A and B are shown apart, each in its own frame.
Chain A
Amino acid sequence: MENILAQSAVRPQATAATLAATAQPVIQLRDIEKVYQTKTIETVALNRVNLTIHKGEFVSIMGPSGCGKSTLLSIIGLLDEPTSGVIELDGRPVQSYSDKELAALRNQKIGFVFQSYHLINDLSVLDNVELPLLYRSGVGGRERRERAYAALDKVGLSARTNHFPSQLSGGQRQRVAIARALAGNPEIILADEPTGNLDSVMGEEIMDLLLGLNRQEGTTIVMVTHDEQQAHKTQRLIRFFDGSQVQ
């Protein structure tokens, strides 16, 4: 029953993209609810969200501040659990994964770009970017470094590898965060306002980088943005208001 509801809610956009129609769903959210309970108030951050994202899609999410975009992305990225509802990854409910399997999924499948970057201050730029590869078995130190350099090069930061996050500007930190998400070559990139702190030229470059990844490598991307222009470059735009999907 729920399944049918979810399908009908998502189909119109999905059919718009011919690619999506044939591809399999990678991420499926069913009746996702997220309620934050504090002593005094109860905040409904996500209200019965149903969403299907197909392999190779580039989806952008827009909505006013506080409407639940980051919360949604965290849940998709397996960083948070919904209060109720089901998330399926590759057709398998996430609840059925063990702790270890979840860690492996986060490591290999997903690359996350946080809205507030979340770099590790004690580590250099290079070590920060190497992080996803550090937890991947069979990747040696040299390969880690090479891939991290390559990722930093893509975001135009190859000259800053030995700096520490505190020595970088906001925009540079954001690019390090993007490089870190790219370094592991994930199937899915979840980016929370990845260009929020960049000037328009740099923002454009990052946008092109993501579009290129999506087109050439088939990387599935879900991006939160406040930039209408950027959103329109993606295949599909989802608007949120007060925890609910509005279109």
Chain B
Amino acid sequence: MLLSYLKIAWKVLLRRKFFTFISLFGISFTLMVLLVVVALFDHAVGPHAPETRLDRMLFVNFLHIKYKNGGNQNSPPSYYLLNRYVRQLRTPAKVAIHSLFHATPSYVGNTRLDLDLKYTDDAFWQVLDFTFAEGKPFGEAEVKSAARVAVINRTTARKYFGTDQGVVGRTIEINQTAFRVLGVVEDVPVMRISSYADVWVPLTTSPNDLNRVTLTGEFAAIILAKSPADKAAVQAEFDQMVKRIPLPDPKEMDHLDLHADEILASYSRQLMSPLTNYTSDGLNMLYSILGGLALLFMLLPALNLVNINVSRIMERSSEIGVRKAFGATSRTLIGQFLVENVFLTALGGLLGLLMAYVALQLIGGAQILAYAQFELNWRIFGWALLVTLFFGVLSGGYPAFKMSRLLPVQALKGVRN
């Protein structure tokens, strides 16, 4: 019976190519966009190497200073601030400090190669889980002695040395300074701004005076808590600590905001600041907005699907009448339409999955985002498919149920009112 349902479903779909196309396209397109967005999102804030222990990590990325005249200043914090205060916290397991990355010129023969350079401490390599293709990171001794050593990523090794093997010990010249390569790591996508760079060198090799007493600078910290549950304690201590940071200019400055946030919150605090005015991390607001948009985005195709299904079944009222006249029970008819709908929805779902896969390959292949690698999120796919099936079943099942209860003659004459 199921086989003949499927056969009928398939025939009906083929016979109604336009309807099938519209219906499938709505489902597939929505699913594709959803999957792509989620993949991008996951790419930016999901636990991927080297930020594998995200559940234990807190990020200190931005400093906000509120002035008494109402002005605002936003900047990454200084090394001094992070080293003097954040590093002294007792609750974390480790605190890593690193600079933002900067495009720095380098030359291979006569061709210029701009490399993104990042200054880091040695804890950076312990907090993050880089995959070393060869060599090792720099340690405390190298950082203390401001040794001119570097960790480079695989692509840089290839571009600079022409090979990514056996480059440890060779010299790379960046901004007219020679660094000895200590290790080669796998590429890190640019969306992971905390860990990303092409070349990592000890922060003590920075030409700037690290210990200049100032609040603003170009550094950030990654705090590793002892356990995921311990993050709250770290944040509590952090907030207490912030209160003790003296304002350099108490006459003009009102207060400063500095927070240790989980990855997404660290972004949303900045992103949502026009709405939150720095009073919260804005994460709930971000979630509401994203959720609302997603809902709105899915509502239209869902309504479309419901509408198409309802009118399609109404349209086939006479078919239902004929089938009843020749012995179909209500249950068989509902079954037929459900199978048809589930079949159609599942087909749309698979098509959406395929489209999402192709789209992600294209985005990844186009190198819009350096070293990007996207993964399809099967859980989201599952949920989205479940939601579509729900709408498909409901929108097919309900009218089919109503129609199947009609007397054959009523169905045969068609339901016009």
From A79, A120, A136, A184, give the contact of B409 (CB < 8 A). A79
| Chain B residue contacts of A74, Cβ below 8 A | 408-409
Q: What's the Cα separation between A123 and B318 when bound, in Å?
A: 13
- For residue B248, CB closer than 8 A to chain A, the reply is no
| Chain A residue contacts of B16, Cβ below 8 A | 122
Closest to B329 in A: A103
Closest to B322 in A: A118
Q: Indicate whether A132 sits within 8 Å of B407 (C-beta atoms), given known contacts A120-B319, A122-B16, A123-B8.
A: no
User: Contact: A135 with B330, CB < 8 Å?
Assistant: no
User: Contact: B15 with A122, CB < 8 Å?
Assistant: yes
From A50-58, A105-113, A150-158, the one touching the partner chain is A105-113
Q: Indicate whether A106 sits within 8 Å of B326 (C-beta atoms), given known contacts A134-B4, A141-B4.
A: yes
User: Contact: B327 with A79, CB < 8 Å?
Assistant: no
Q: What's the Cα separation between A164 and B16 when bound, in Å?
A: 13
Shortest distance between the CB of B36 and any CB in chain A (Å): 35
| Chain B residue contacts of A103, Cβ below 8 A | 324, 327-330, 332
Q: Indicate whether A107 sits within 8 Å of B409 (C-beta atoms), given known contacts A122-B12, A122-B319.
A: no
Q: What's the Cα separation between A118 and B409 when bound, in Å?
A: 11
Closest to B7 in A: A127
Shortest distance between the CB of B86 and any CB in chain A (Å): 70
Determine the main DSSP class of B at the interface with A: helix
User: Contact: A79 with B325, CB < 8 Å?
Assistant: yes
Closest to A99 in B: B330
Shortest distance between the CB of B416 and any CB in chain A (Å): 13
Q: What's the Cα separation between A184 and B328 when bound, in Å?
A: 13
| Chain A residue contacts of B323, Cβ below 8 A | 120, 131, 135
Q: What's the Cα separation between A80 and B11 when bound, in Å?
A: 30
Q: What's the Cα separation between A115 and B209 when bound, in Å?
A: 98
Closest to A135 in B: B327
Q: What's the Cα separation between A112 and B329 when bound, in Å?
A: 17
Question: Per-position contact with B for A169-189: 1 when CB-CB < 8 Å, else 0?
Answer: 000000000001000100000
- For residue B352, CB closer than 8 A to chain A, the reply is no
Closest to A79 in B: B408
Question: Per-position contact with A for B1-35: 1 when CB-CB < 8 Å, else 0?
Answer: 00110001001100110000000000000000000
- For residue A104, CB closer than 8 A to chain B, the reply is yes
Question: Per-position contact with B for A30-70: 1 when CB-CB < 8 Å, else 0?
Answer: 00000000000000000000000000000000000000000
Closest to A130 in B: B4
- For residue A77, CB closer than 8 A to chain B, the reply is yes
Closest to B316 in A: A122
User: Contact: B329 with A136, CB < 8 Å?
Assistant: no
| Chain B residue contacts of A107, Cβ below 8 A | 326-328
Interface residues of B in 402-417 (CB under 8 A from A): 407-409, 412
Q: What's the Cα separation between A184 and B321 when bound, in Å?
A: 18
Q: What's the Cα separation between A246 and B362 when bound, in Å?
A: 79
Interface residues of A (CB under 8 A from B): 74, 77-81, 99-100, 103-104, 106-108, 112, 114, 118-124, 127, 131-132, 134-136, 141, 164, 180, 184
- In order of increasing CB-CB distance, the 3 nearest A-B pairs are A107-B327, A79-B408, A135-B327
